A and B are shown apart, each in its own frame.
Chain A
Amino acid sequence: MEYLIIIISAVFVNNVVLSQFLGICPFLGVSKKVSTAFGMSLALVLVMGLATLVTYLIQNYVLINTWFGEKMDITFMQTIVFILVIAALVQMVEIILKKINPSLYQALGIFLPLITTNCAVLGASILVVTKEFAAKGVESHMMNLGESVVYSMSLAIGFGIAIILFAGMREQLELSNVPKALKGTPIALITAGLLALAFMGFQGIV
């Protein structure tokens, strides 16, 4: 039940793009076609799950731990450590995927390097270890490993839903007659604004 609340909260209520503003760059950049948007979100679910798994363990067993007989809290190194780990992880996923599943690599490969600079990955990894999870009917608490991974994968799914909806709209926009000054990014932003307005309707569910 608790996991269900976490999933709904992450996918709809706190949608990563439309209410938390993480990963706007790929949201605007790779949303011209539904098929590429789908590939991107699939790759993101994989990477965000893995990244959170690894960074959660690093946060709780490396940055906060007893070293040399002394209890140490070096969480100020968080930013540097996490971004390096994520960059290395993405490279590794790319190499492994190429070896064991070439067809999946063909589908996701081009999106993987882009993901390192997707702030949703770093954002989610920092969020789950620093912020408490709060929702209706659940006592607010720090998430454990399982909840963290589920939470950030749900964030990625939320990203997927938002970007696929958005790509569908942009495909239609291509065909319509848009005033010259609005062409390109401005009309995309305004469309995203309206989509965000629609997603605000989910507020208060959990």
Chain B
Amino acid sequence: MSKFKYLIDGIVKNNPTFVLVLGMCPTLATTTSAVNGMGMGLATMAVLLCSNMVISLLAPVIPNKVRIPCYIVVIAAFVTVVQLVMQAFTPGLYETLGIFIPLIVVNCIVLGRAEAFANKHSVGESALDGLGIGIGFTLALTCIGLIREILGNLSVFENKFSSSDGMLVFVLAPGAFLVLGYLMVLFNKLKDRKKKA
């Protein structure tokens, strides 16, 4: 039971987007629709899960001084794998996400979890942590993507529910900042209320 705490922690208490405020670039750039957000979230989750497991196995062997470059190589290798897989099986999504797939390497969430969690815990725990954080990230991205899509394009998961035009600004760059900003306000408000109760 206690092991599952790691999984749940990643989704709520350590939510990478709303609590840790990490990995902002893909969060803002790829959430033009719910599907894109989810694709980015899942790609990051795959990298996070694999890199967490491998790093937790390698941690005892890696000398402390060169650990960061070693982690980066491991992460970059998995990013390349994900990149090639996506290019083969989901070429459309690969095109839309574009440069942000290779940029998973410099996503602070992945390196952050390697440094803060994976190198001190067992393989199983690291896998659960990677999965939890990954799910938290995916949920946050899907949520932001969904809101932007509904407001900007009047559609849900690419099914248009109205034939008129939406507020285009929410699909464009400024909308990303505004939606994330207001979602964080909501998150803070709910957390505050919970604390008071």
Contact = CB atoms under 8 A, between A and B. Distances in A.
Interface of A: 18-25, 28, 76-80, 83-84, 87, 116-119, 122-123, 126-127, 130, 180-182, 185-190, 192-194, 196-197, 199-200
Contacts of B25: 21-25, 119
A186 B105 contact: no
Q: Which 4 A-B pairs have the closest CB atoms?
A: A193-B177, A189-B181, A21-B29, A24-B24
A84 B175 CA distance: 34
B72 A83 contact: yes
Nearest to A80: B76
Contact of B80 (A18, A80, A130, A181): A80
B188 A181 contact: yes
Q: Which of A19, A79, A199, A200 has the most CB of B within 10 A?
A: A79
Given A22-B29, A180-B188, A200-B174, 18 more contacts: A20-B29, A25-B25, A83-B105, A123-B99, A130-B99, A180-B192, A186-B185, A187-B181, A190-B177, A190-B181, A192-B177, A192-B181, A193-B174, A193-B175, A196-B177, A197-B174, A199-B173, A200-B172
A78 B108 CA distance: 20
A183 B194 CA distance: 18
A83 B185 CA distance: 35
Q: Determine chain A's interface SS by DSSP, over half rule.
A: helix
Contacts of B80: 76-77, 79-80
B5 to A, nearest CB: 26
A176 to B, nearest CB: 16
Contacts of B62: none
B73 interface: yes
A117 B24 CA distance: 12
Nearest to A120: B25
B2 to A, nearest CB: 32
13 contacts: A25-B22, A25-B108, A76-B80, A76-B83, A78-B102, A80-B76, A84-B72, A84-B76, A87-B69, A123-B99, A130-B99, A186-B181, A196-B174
A200 B173 contact: yes
A119 B105 CA distance: 9
Interface in B144-197: 169, 172-178, 180-182, 184-185, 188-189, 192
Contacts of B173: 18-19, 21, 196, 199-200
Contacts of B24: 24-25, 28
A93 to B, nearest CB: 16
Interface string B72-85: 11001101100110
A83 B106 contact: yes
B118 interface: no
A87 to B, nearest CB: 6
A80 B73 contact: yes
Contacts of B28: 21, 24
Nearest to B80: A79
Contacts of A126: 99, 102-103
A193 B21 CA distance: 17
Contacts of A196: 173-174, 177
B93 to A, nearest CB: 17
Nearest to B175: A193
A84 B73 contact: yes
A194 B79 CA distance: 33
A180 B29 CA distance: 27
A193 to B, nearest CB: 3
